[in-house]
Amino acid sequence: MAAFKWRVDEALHRFVEEEADHLLAIDPDLAPLVDQLRIATIHGKRLRAAFCYWGWRAAGQPDSDALVRAAAAMELVHAAAVVHDDLVDGSALRHGLPTAHLALRTAVPRGPQAKAAARSLAMLAGDLLISWAGQLFTTCGLPAAYLSRARPLWAVLARELVAGECLEILRTGSRPDTAASLQVIRYKTAKYTVEHPLHIGAALAGASRELREFFTDYGLPLGEAFQLRDDLLGLFGDPERTGKANADDITAHRPTALLALTWQDATSTERRELRTLLGRRHLDEESVERVRGIMHRTGAPTRIEGMITQRVRAAVRILDQAQLPDGPARALAALAQAATVRRH
């Protein structure tokens, strides 16, 4: 995984620096935007690229530098989603650094419109990252016939990713509901993190419909487990490791499964307390601890851990039943652990 990550990082670095040069040639004033585009693309475990790569290899195709570049495009989709997500949620930190819409405030003149201008710049940065993803994919070096097999899947990826983000916005602040939360998880994160990269890699390789159906059965539970782990880390993880503030999900009153399970088993007194805390923009550590305490009393974190375990087992069980080449089978089993057994 480390060697593969290095290859993806190198592909992204070369592409981003070339595009950065084009932007700076237009006008040096674009330097703050270029800085944020670089920051957005240097971080990450490269899981999405890895799933795309092993979708290709599972279909019997050999290692390919062109495929690595195509897989790296998945990371640009992720970078765009992160910039937009931080903007929508008003998050302050990502990887321990100010998020793009905050960092870009230094690039605009001070005044009553500075905040809005910085948010607009961040939105446009996210839009450009999406465009870059398509550009890197189509210029990766694979034959046009291969690319044409995967092109329709990009429309599905975009549709479902945006649908998931919109559903989260529409359900933020509403009465917590586990089924609704899991639907948001599936469309906002699970599909574009695991299922879609696998499908795109497999489609590039000319894989059978049977193999792509297998990737759905493996990818959806694993993608959901990935986001459930993220939700736990978001509130109970070490900010030094996660690079994000613990209180984000509480202050935004996001429709997480963790909150839904907490609400389901909370007493009437605890629900009243949660109503006073959820959605409050500035929470001190004591208030965050009060929310954690209610969650622990209801057993919600333990139940989320059980849901993660159940989903990982389901994904691995599918792997055991499939007749994949040894290398891809081992890699996908390792990725199941890497995606869900983590501290950041």
CATH assignment at residue 214? 1.10.600.10
Across the chain, mean pLDDT equals 94
Q: What's at 46, amino acid-wise?
A: R
Does residue 68 carry a pLDDT above 80?
Answer: yes
Tokens 């599936």 appear where? 186
- How would residue 146 be classed by pLDDT, with cut points 50, 70 and 90? very high
Express each pLDDT in 173-209 by its tens digit.
888 999 999 999 999 999 999 999 999 999 999 999 9
Task: Verify that 127 and 215 share a domain, yes or no.
Answer: no
Does residue 111 carry a pLDDT above 90?
Answer: no
Across 233-238, average pLDDT: 90
Domains contained in the chain, number: 2
Domain finish residue from 85, 112, 141: 141
What is the rounded CA–CA span in Å between residue 216 and residue 342?
Answer: 23
Express each pLDDT in 240-292 by its tens digit.
888 877 788 888 888 999 999 999 999 999 999 999 999 887 888 899 999 99
Write down the pLDDT at residue 247.
Answer: 83
Across 154-159, average pLDDT: 96
Rounded to two decimals, the pTM is 0.95
Write down the pLDDT at residue 65.
Answer: 98
Does residue 315 carry a pLDDT above 90?
Answer: yes
Task: Verify that 95 and 177 share a domain, yes or no.
Answer: no
Task: Verify that 227 and 249 share a domain, yes or no.
Answer: yes
Write down the pLDDT at residue 1.
Answer: 82
Q: How many other CB atoms sit within 10 Å of the CB of residue 280?
A: 12
Residue with the larger pLDDT of the pair 124 and 2:
124
Across 9-26, average pLDDT: 98
Domain finish residue from 81, 107, 141: 141
Q: Which of 13, 37, 12, 11 is closest to 24 using CA atoms?
A: 37
Task: Verify that 272 and 179 share a domain, yes or no.
Answer: yes
Does residue 343 carry a pLDDT above 80?
Answer: no
Task: Verify that 259 and 120 share a domain, yes or no.
Answer: no
Write down the pLDDT at residue 131.
Answer: 98
Residue with the larger pLDDT of the pair 281 and 323:
323
50 within some domain: no
Task: Verify that 276 and 305 share a domain, yes or no.
Answer: yes
Which range marks the domain in which residue 94 is found?
Answer: 1-42+65-141
Across 161-179, average pLDDT: 93
Does residue 41 carry a pLDDT above 90?
Answer: yes
Residue with the larger pLDDT of the pair 173 and 29:
29
Task: Verify that 105 and 247 share a domain, yes or no.
Answer: no
What is the rounded CA–CA span in Å between residue 93 and residue 245?
Answer: 6
Write down the pLDDT at residue 115.
Answer: 94
Tell me the sheet residues that pair with 93.
98
Task: Verify that 224 and 210 share a domain, yes or no.
Answer: yes
Write down the pLDDT at residue 279.
Answer: 85
Task: Verify that 233 and 151 share a domain, yes or no.
Answer: yes
- How would residue 12 be classed by pLDDT, with cut points 50, 70 and 90? very high
Domain finish residue from 85, 111, 141: 141
Q: Are 183 and 171 in contact (CB under 8 A)?
A: no
* Share of residues in the chain with pLDDT > 70 (%): 100
CA-CA-CA-CA torsion sign (318, 319, 325, 331): positive
Write down the pLDDT at residue 302.
Answer: 97
Q: Which of 40, 329, 73 is closest to 196 using CA atoms?
A: 73
